[in-house]
Every structure is written in C-alpha cells, then in structure tokens.
Amino acid sequence: MSDLVLLESQGAVATLTINRPDKLNALDREVLAALRGRVEQLAANEAVRCVILTGAGEKAFVAGADIAEMKDLSVDDARAFSREGHAALAALEACAVPVIAAVQGFALGGGCELALACDFIHASTKARFGQPEVKLGVIPGFGGTQRLARRVGIGRARELVYSGAMIGAEEALRIGLVNAVHAPEELQAKVRALAETIAQMGPYAVSKAKDVLRDGEGRVLSDANALEVEGFAACFGTDDQSEGMAAFLEKRPASFRGA
C-alpha cells in the first residue's frame, strides 16, 4: 500500500495521515487512489471504531488539489479528475465509523473539501481554511460548493467561494466550519481523547447515528425523521442495546460487541 496516505491503528482508533509534506500534502491522483485504498482497508478492520484524518508536517493539513497536475487538463480530463476527487471523498464520507479531521495548518481548496467530507473538524489555532479556486480561474471541484454550504450556510459559502478568502481557526469556529480550536501542541491529544470516547460508545449505535445524520441531511424533515424511527428501532434488534441498558441498570460498564 502506498505511503502517500499512512494508516496507523492504536486500539480502536485509527489515524490516516496524508503524507506528501514536500508539496503541502496536495491531492494528486496518486494520493486520491491511496486514500481510497486506505478507506477500503479500514472498512475491513472491525476493531476500528473511530478514525482521525490529518496531514503530515506542521504547515499543512492539505493545501489543495495538485495545481501542477491540473494545469494542462482538458475539459474531459477535468471532469474525470473532479469525479475521482468526489469518489475518494464520498468513500471517506461513507466510512461506517466516525472520521474526525484534525487540521493543524492550511486546509485550502481540496484540503478544505477533504476536511468537510469528515464527520466534523477540530483545528489548531494555526489552521487556515479557504476555497481559493477562483484565484486560479476555476471553481471547487471536490464538493466545496455543496458540502461547505451545508456546513456553514449558503451565504457564508458563497462569500468564501466567490472571494477565495482564507480564514483563521477562530473565524472558522465562529461560522461553524470547525467544532473546536486547540493549541497546536494539544490538537492531536485532544482529538485522540475524543476519538477514544466515541470508540467506547455502542458501536452499532454510533454507526447507525452516522447513517441517519448523513442520510437525513437534505431530506424534508418528515422523511428524515422517518429514517430516525427506523434507525432507533433497528438498535433494539442488537446485543449492544440489551447490553447497554442492562449495564446501566446493573450499575456496571457496558461491554459492547458492535452488533
């Protein structure tokens, strides 16, 4: 498996690291393919209950899709490249377990889009976010026009996409792009602690909650609530539900098996 995306597992928490620091972890086709490979590897590992996604080096989470690779694309090539990016990010988004983006530096263009394909984002005070594609004469191609609007609202997404502006971590927190901001030296430990907490919850329930939250987004409320009803009911067919509720009543920690 390619070293362009590293996968390390420690207990129930896995960390994916985009590993191309000399190019600020820019996403070229090889990195996108490596990411898909790692996501498949994660899907086959039932011991993993939560994933952290980060970038190698201090400077950048991911500084965007690879501009050198994009420079001479034809219209058809660009369509194919955008589809490759979308497919990789959709695979990540479809992970059965939560994925937390730990953004320590630049998350620009495809980097911001990659973070948005995660369940949520924690950032260091040094993180910088933006969709600067219009500065290059193009628009976001890996979901930035859509996932960004869903995360921060259409008005803020329009402003970021039309201006190409870069915003700091505090502004990203204020607009709801990130959930929390940490001191740079604390980011990885804080995200790991949260991932470990999530990993201890009922695994079937966490995955079901992820499905319902994701699949309900964009549906009318009555349809989305119907998904919740079915998801809630399905939990009652699992050992995790029997164990979780019995453990509460018996005043002992639950021992979940994920089914």
Residue pair 13/52 in contact by the 8 Å Cβ criterion: yes
In the annotation, is 113 catalytic? yes
Q: Does 85 bind ligand COA (CB under 6 A)?
A: no
Minimum distance between the CB of residue 69 and ligand COA, rounded to whole angstroms? 7
Tell me the backbone φ, ψ of residue 164, rounded to 5 degrees. Answer: 70, 15
Closer by beta carbon to ligand COA, 81 or else 256: 81
Nearest residue (CB) to ligand COA, 133 versus 240: 133
The CA distance from 239 to 156, in Å, is 44
What is d(CA 127, CA 152) in angstroms, rounded to the nearest whole number? 17
Instruction: Specify whether the CB–CB gap between 152 and 141 falls below 8 A.
Output: no
3-class state of residue 159 by DSSP: helix
CA–CA distance from 20 to each of 16, 32, 56, 103, 181 (Å)? 13, 12, 7, 15, 24
Give the total of residues touching ligand COA (CB under 6 A).
Answer: 16
Determine which residue in the list 32, 49, 53, 66 makes contact with ligand COA, applying CB under 6 A: 66
Alpha helices (runs of H) in the chain, residue ranges in sequence order: 29-43, 67-70, 75-93, 110-116, 147-152, 154-163, 169-174, 187-200, 203-216, 221-235, 239-249
Q: Applying CB under 6 A, does 167 fall inside the site for ligand COA?
A: no
Segment contacting ligand COA by CB under 6 A, of 66-74, 95-103, 182-190, 208-216:
66-74
Judged by CB under 6 A, which of 52, 63, 88, 97 binds ligand COA?
63
Site track 133-152 with ligand COA (rule: CB under 6 A), x = hit: x--x----------------
61 binds ligand COA (CB under 6 A): no
CB 73, CB 127: distance < 8 Å: no
| Binding piece for ligand COA, criterion CB under 6 A, among 21-29, 207-215, 239-247, 249-257 | 21-29
46 carries an active-site annotation: no
Q: How far is the CB of 20 from ligand COA (least distance, A)?
A: 9
**Which one, of 160, 170, 152, lies nearest residue 132 by Cα?**
160
Q: Which one from 30, 40, 113, 171 is the annotated catalytic residue? A: 113
Question: Whose Cβ is closer to ligand COA: residue 67's or residue 247's?
Answer: 67
Is 24 near ligand COA (CB under 6 A)?
A: yes
| SS3 of residue 7 by DSSP | strand
Min CB(67)–ligand COA separation in Å: 4
User: Which positions are catalytic?
Assistant: 113, 133
In the complex, the residues that contact ligand COA under the rule CB under 6 A are 23-24, 26, 63-68, 106, 108-110, 132-133, 136
